[in-house]
Amino acid sequence: MKVWAKRADPCTLRSEFQLQGEPRELGPDVEENLLHIGQEALTNALRHARATKFQAQLSFGSEAVRLELSDNGDGFAIDGVNGDGLGLIGMKERAEQIGATVEVSTKPGAGTRIVAVSPYQQL
């Protein structure tokens, strides 16, 4: 599925979503926190990264659900992010609430990739 989103500046952001594996029922807290992690990553791509492409992939594996988000924007030096910058702390806190992990890969000029992995929980 492709979605076009308008940014505040005259550029557009092309978004793509992929679903892999057989979808499973997730707890409402897992769904909500993964949604907010994805929203934050998309917001960062729009507001800060000057990205023109954003990709989201939701994969249902045998042991966990994996959300992978990436953009082709400016990237940044993780060491240089202050405490309230880019919502990374919020993403990590949301992941902790559901027993998930979040990994951020980025560097200046190379875009950003965020991967959240949440083990399945008993419903």
Q: What ranges do the domains of the chain cover?
A: 2-119
Confidence (pLDDT) at 121: 84
Q: What percent of the chain has pLDDT over 70?
A: 85
Q: What is the pLDDT of residue 73?
A: 95
Evaluate whether the domain defined by 2-119 bears CATH number 3.40.30.10: no
Q: How many CA atoms lie within 13 A of 111 on its CB side?
A: 12
Q: Is the pLDDT of residue 40 over 70?
A: yes
Q: What is the pLDDT of residues 79-121, one digit of tens each?
A: 766 555 558 899 999 999 999 999 999 999 999 999 999 999 8
Cα–Cα distances in Å, from 12 out to 44, 59, 83, 113? 14, 26, 29, 19
CB 16 within 8 A of CB 1: yes
pLDDT, tens digit (0-9, with 9 covering 90-100), for 2-15: 555 554 555 688 99
